[in-house]
Structure formats: C-alpha cells, structure tokens
Amino acid sequence: MTPSAILFGSIGTLVETSELQRAAFNAAFVEQGLDWVWDQDTYRAMLVVPGGRGRIQAFAELSGIDVDAEALHARKTALFDTAIIERGLHLRPGVADVIDRAMDKGVKLGFCTTTSRANIDAIFTALSGELNRAAFDFISEARAGLPPKPDSAVYHEALRALKLTATEAIAVEDSAGNLVAPQVAGIRVIAFPGENTSNDPFLGAVDVVKELKPSLFGL
C-alpha cells in the first residue's frame, strides 16, 4: 500500500555523515584539551546514547571528569557544519529517486529530526543542487519542549502537521535507537542503517535495506 507520507527520521537517512560526526567530536575534544579519542568502535558504542550532548555527558561520567557537555557539543556542531559545507555531501543510495517519485505521486514528505537548526541548514547547503528543503512538507528541529529520540514526540508532531494517522505514514530510520520513536507512535519503519549502525538490531522494522527504492513504498 502506498503511504500518504514518507517520514525521513534523521540526517543519517538522507546523507552518510557518521564518520564526519566522529571526526568533529574528536576535533572538539582536542580543542578543549581532552585526551579523549573516539575510535570507530568507541563511537559505535556511544551511539546507543541519544543525542551528541548526551553522548558527551555519558562519556564524561564514565571517565570520571566534569565537562561542559552543552558547550562542547556546540563546538562539535560548529566544526561538523563547517566540514560538510566545505566538502559537500551527496544523498545516500536511492534517496533522490524515492523523493522524486513521492513528489510526482503526491505523497507528502517529512524530515523528523531533533537535531539543531544549524545542522539542518548546513545539510541543505551542502546538498545544494541535489535536494531542496522545499521538497519537504514538514521539517522539525531541536527546540525547548521537544524531547529527543527515542521519544516519539517528533513523530506525533509530524502526523498532526500533515493531518494524517499513524497507519497512513511510513518512516525511515538509520539506527536501532531511533527506530523506537516511530514505532511507539504506531508508524511502520524501514531501517536504512548507516556506516556505523549496520550491525544494530532493527527489531520490528518492515525491512532493513542498504538502498532505498520507490518500490519499498509502493511508488
């Protein structure tokens, strides 16, 4: 059945940025004089903690030191945003085809992220020529009062904004932690794991894929 809306759930469902994110964390740590180095295995382990600020705070507690997690995360975000704008990005396999077909068929598109507006702006700037934010009928962002995933609030907000029920939408998420949010909201989910989440247990997902295809959505 063709859904009335496809809800992309995070930056990672559109573009592969996980290693750029990790590099930005490590650069921010160096700037602050911390001897932390998140190798790929460490970073994968930290991804179970929701949100970058939460990961920094959790790691600080494990390390037995106090840090200003909010300020450190803000610096990491600035470094990440600069890096992706300078390097540019490309959509993940099949994303452009799905978005184009959805628009042709009148299927609504949502971007249900709880990251910062700065990150969202940087992503669309880096994707200039490949993706216009006007393609989306709903875009969320981090703000006071909107709890981060795995809370399902952002999905409930998207359904209200698009005037749809949960059964009329399908979500795309890239990690097991994020998968919970749409599921709690009663929305079917296709798992589209990224480079550092390919071994996640995507329990309850409609499908787990390496490439998005219009046929997955009945388009």
Q: Which pLDDT value is given to residue 145?
A: 87
Average pLDDT over residues 95-109: 97
Q: Are residues 136 and 192 in the same domain?
A: yes
Residues 145 and 199 in one domain: yes
> How many domains does the structure of the chain reveal?
2
pLDDT of 50? 76
pLDDT reported for residue 211: 97
Confidence of residue 136 (pLDDT cuts 50, 70, 90): very high
**166 and 186 belong to one structural domain:** yes
In this structure, the answer to whether residues 67 and 147 fall within a common structural domain is: no
| CATH number for 25 | 1.10.150.240
- The overall average pLDDT reported for the chain is 94
CATH number, domain of 203, equals 3.40.50.1000
Same domain, 178 and 147: yes
Whether residues 128 and 68 fall in one domain = no
Residue 31 and residue 80 in one domain: yes
**Residue 3 burial class via C-beta count within 10 angstroms: exposed 0-12, middle 13-18, buried 19 and up:** buried
pLDDT for 105 equals: 96
Euclidean distance between CA atoms 167 and 151, whole angstroms = 19
Can you tell me the mean pLDDT for 200-218? 96
| Structure confidence at residue 87 (pLDDT) | 86
Q: What is the pTM of this model?
A: 0.91
The CA angle 105-190-102, to the nearest 5 degrees, is 10
Q: What is the span of the domain harbouring residue 46? A: 18-87
Which pairs with CB-CB distance under 8 Å and at least 24 residues apart come from 52-57?
Answer: 52/21, 52/25, 52/76, 52/77, 54/148, 55/25, 56/25
Q: Are residues 73 and 137 in the same domain?
A: no
Same domain, 130 and 76: no
User: What are the tens digits of pLDDT across the range 138-184?
Assistant: 999 988 888 988 899 999 999 999 999 999 999 999 999 899 999 99
Apex 176 CA angle, 210 and 23, nearest 5: 75
Distance CA 24, CA 217 (A): 34
How far apart CA 158 and CA 161 sit, in angstroms, is 5
pLDDT tier for residue 217 given thresholds of 50, 70 and 90: very high
Query: How far does the chain reach from its first CA to its final CA, in angstroms?
Result: 9
Neighbour tally for 52: CB within 10 Å: 24
64 in the same domain as 158:
no
Torsion (CA) 40, 41, 47, 49 in degrees, nearest 10: -130
Q: Is the pLDDT of residue 1 over 80?
A: no
Answer yes or no: are the C-beta atoms of 217 and 199 closer than 8 Å: no
Confidence band (pLDDT; 50, 70, 90) for 88?
confident
Closest among 93, 91, 103 to 11, alpha carbons compared: 91
Q: Are 154 and 146 in contact (CB under 8 A)?
A: yes
Do residues 102 and 56 share a domain?
no
On the question of pLDDT at 131 being above 80, the answer is yes
